[in-house]
């Protein structure tokens, strides 16, 4: 899957600009990253992976940030670290967010594959294998269910 | 075991006597706050999908602030959903067009020391000024709280920011935060609890303490906390529980500063971490903006007025008081008149220009100095707009000078 590489402190105003939040997610997603990578929203393909440096998703609680990435088909995030609020939002939407201390070894356009549960990341372009921190099991359950809403649906079904 | 303030608050909510940083716990939520943007319009359809009801409507507070004033079909629709939903869901704690949620919530007495609270907004750590554990969450997680009344938490470590002495005239909580964010970075808080303490913090009034905890969001903490004391009690006009860290509780880091050495700070485009002392700047400005939960509370309006009294703004000056009550108080005491006499244009008591949601947005290449919390590229309007962040003192002084200016000279 193609890697889209961003730097440190990518903020939620870049990922989901405030002025479009009054519209539905399709419109928000069309403007995703437009202030820092104008070609992103129109060229990102289903399955692509967003790679970043430190503190990805800094700023707002707006869930449209991970939602826009997911809407565009992004299958996983790989970053040195995340803003905590963004991280919780991504997991709650079922978007795997992996912490990879070596994320900066990945170049734009590299063909990479990640396994969220084990934390293994294969870079097919360079042949390199990188280690990500495995996502804790209780959060993997949320991701496997497709996010917090389907997870709650399941839980409410079992209790009723 | 010695416990920090954060540990004690989390332990209480988790039904435990003590908790250890790093462990995962489930906490009972005492209060869930939401606004029109991340609240009803997003949680209502999800509640319907689940066929679920709000676990306890008396613990939910809904405040409209983001899409006010309504200016098009989309904003009208978003506000209508909020107004209809609170009725359907039986939520009595509804404040419509009363001001920004983080300011209105404590103003109307909803926060008390010892509480565990969540807010559907990143600046929710503001509540930590009341020794309540409060942090921001997204809409889906808010839905989870509305359905279950609970939320998981990794028990945070505590980073103590300890200020000895007293702040100089013209230096405010905003300067403290811009300094700390510049020093430690946007992730300096490591999504842990940041506790502000020391003699200089104890002297600050509640709304200044709120600014410290509010901008803990930009410092990257999960929450900002301040022990409850007489200042908390006097603001709340009620007897309160005293919550504080044990003196020898283990900390992740303990940073000590001499408050009297702090100078007014300015963060240059496009990051709150891009901070230097005000004396490093001569930049000409087009607009001085005094607004937002971070920078337009009554205490902030008073700071601006202290500079603007008897002076005229050379640049355009816009003031959006953070709450209706604060604006009314400013009007009664004459503070508002000082701002108007200086040439201020008033906007509604809402989030205004801060996050670029509304009709007022920065045009191409506009240079603005603002009391808001974030100057990320394109946030307040055009991507070419340049936004500098500073205290209400510094923003007011810059309005008078027409360029970024040191307020201390005008306060002398």
Query: Cβ(B289)–Cβ(B368) under 8 Å?
Result: yes
Q: Averaged over B274-298, what is the pLDDT?
A: 98
CA distance A75 to A56: 16
Per-residue confidence at B412, pLDDT binned at 50, 70, 90?
A: confident
**Which phi and psi (to 5°) does residue B152 adopt?**
-85, 155
Burial B73-93, CB ≥16 within 10 A → b, else e: eebeebbebbeebbeebebeb
pLDDT digits over A127-152, tens only? Answer: 999 999 999 999 999 999 999 999 99
Q: Is B81 on the interface with A (CB under 8 A)?
A: no
> B113 forms bridges with which residues in the sheet?
none
Domains of chain A: 3-159 (3.20.19.10)
- Full-model pTM: 0.98
What H or E segment, with its residue span, contains residue B44?
Answer: helix B40-50
What H or E segment, with its residue span, contains residue B336?
Answer: helix B335-341
- Of B74, B122, B191, Cβ closest to residue A60: B122
Q: Is A139 on the interface with B (CB under 8 A)?
A: no
CA distance A69 to A15: 8
Per-residue confidence at A159, pLDDT binned at 50, 70, 90?
A: confident
Count of CB atoms within 10 A of residue A41's CB?
A: 18
* Two structure tokens written together for B111: 């926060």
Mutation target vs B (from A12, A84, A135, A148; most B CBs, 10 A cutoff) = A84
Flag whether pLDDT at B314 surpasses 90: yes
* Two structure tokens written together for B367: 């240079």
Residue A6, classed as helix, strand or coil, is: coil
Candidates A30, A28, A81; CA nearest to A57 is A81
Cβ neighbours for B174, distance < 8 A, ≥ 6 positions apart: B211, B215, B265, B294, B295, B371, B389, B390, B391, B392
Burial level of A140, CB count in 10 A (0-12/13-18/19+)?
Answer: middle
Q: Averaged over B101-116, what is the pLDDT?
A: 98
Query: Cβ(A94)–Cβ(A115) under 8 Å?
Result: no
Per-residue confidence at B254, pLDDT binned at 50, 70, 90?
A: very high
Chain B residues with beta carbon closer than 8 angstroms to that of A142: none
Domains of chain B: 5-257 (3.30.499.10), 265-411 (3.30.499.10)
How many residues comprise chain B? 412
* Two structure tokens written together for B341: 């006499």
Verify whether the Cβ–Cβ distance A9 to B138 is below 8 Å.
Answer: no
pLDDT digits over B205-247, tens only? Answer: 999 999 999 999 999 999 999 999 999 999 999 999 999 999 9
């Amino acid at each position: 899957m193609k890697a889209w590489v961003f730097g440190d402190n990518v903020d939620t105003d870049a990922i989901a600009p405030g002025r479009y939040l009054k519209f539905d997610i399709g419109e928000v997603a069309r403007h995703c990253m437009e202030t820092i990578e104008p070609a992103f929203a129109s060229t990102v393909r289903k399955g692509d992976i967003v790679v970043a440096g430190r503190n990805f998703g800094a700023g707002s609680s707006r869930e449209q940030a991970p939602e826009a990435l997911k809407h565009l088909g992004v299958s996983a995030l790989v970053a040195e670290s995340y803003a905590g609020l963004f991280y919780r939002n991504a997991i709650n939407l079922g978007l795997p967010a992996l912490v990879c201390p070596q994320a900066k070894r990945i170049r734009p356009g590299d063909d990479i594959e990640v396994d969220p549960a084990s934390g293994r990341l294969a870079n097919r372009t360079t042949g390199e294998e990188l280690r990500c921190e495995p996502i804790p099991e209780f959060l993997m359950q949320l991701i496997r269910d497709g996010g917090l809403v389907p997870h709650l649906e399941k839980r409410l079904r079992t209790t009723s | 075991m010695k416990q920090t303030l954060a540990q004690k608050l989390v332990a209480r909510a988790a039904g435990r006597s003590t908790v250890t940083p790093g462990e995962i716990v489930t906490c009972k939520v005492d209060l869930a706050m939401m606004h029109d943007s991340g609240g009803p319009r997003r949680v209502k359809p999800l509640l319907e999908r689940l066929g679920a009801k709000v676990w306890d409507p008396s613990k939910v507070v809904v405040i409209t602030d983001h899409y006010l004033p309504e200016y098009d079909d989309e904003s009208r629709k978003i506000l209508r959903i909020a107004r209809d939903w609170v009725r359907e869901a039986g939520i009595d704690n509804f404040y419509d067009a009363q001001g920004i949620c983080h300011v209105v919530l404590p103003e109307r007495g909803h926060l008390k020391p010892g509480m565990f609270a969540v807010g559907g907004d990143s600046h929710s750590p503001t509540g930590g000024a009341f020794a309540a554990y409060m942090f921001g969450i997204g809409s889906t997680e808010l839905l989870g709280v509305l359905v279950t009344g609970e939320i998981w938490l990794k028990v945070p470590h505590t980073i103590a920011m300890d200020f000895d002495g007293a702040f100089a005239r013209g230096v405010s909580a905003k300067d403290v935060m811009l300094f700390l964010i510049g020093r430690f970075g946007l992730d300096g808080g490591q999504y842990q609890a940041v506790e502000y303490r020391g003699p200089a913090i104890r002297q600050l009034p509640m709304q200044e303490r709120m600014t410290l905890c509010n901008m803990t969001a930009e410092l990257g903490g999960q929450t900002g906390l301040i022990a409850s004391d007489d200042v908390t009690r006097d603001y709340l006009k009620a007897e309160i529980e005293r919550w504080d860290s044990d003196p020898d509780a283990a900390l992740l880091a303990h940073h000590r500063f001499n408050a009297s050495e702090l100078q007014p700070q300015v963060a240059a485009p496009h990051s709150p971490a891009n901070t230097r002392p005000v004396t490093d700047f001569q930049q000409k400005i087009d607009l001085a903006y005094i607004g937002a939960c971070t920078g337009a509370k009554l205490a902030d309006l008073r700071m601006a007025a202290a500079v603007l009294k008897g002076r005229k703004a050379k640049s355009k000056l816009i003031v959006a008081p953070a709450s209706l009550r604060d604006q009314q108080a400013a009007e009664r005491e004459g503070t508002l008149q000082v701002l108007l006499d200086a040439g201020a244009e008033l906007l509604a008591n809402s989030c205004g220009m801060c996050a670029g949601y509304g009709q007022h947005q920065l045009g191409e290449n506009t240079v603005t100095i603002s009391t808001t919390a974030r100057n990320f590229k394109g946030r307040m309007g055009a991507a070419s707009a340049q936004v500098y962040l500073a205290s209400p003192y510094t923003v007011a002084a810059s309005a008078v000078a027409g360029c970024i200016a040191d307020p201390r000279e005008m306060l002398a």
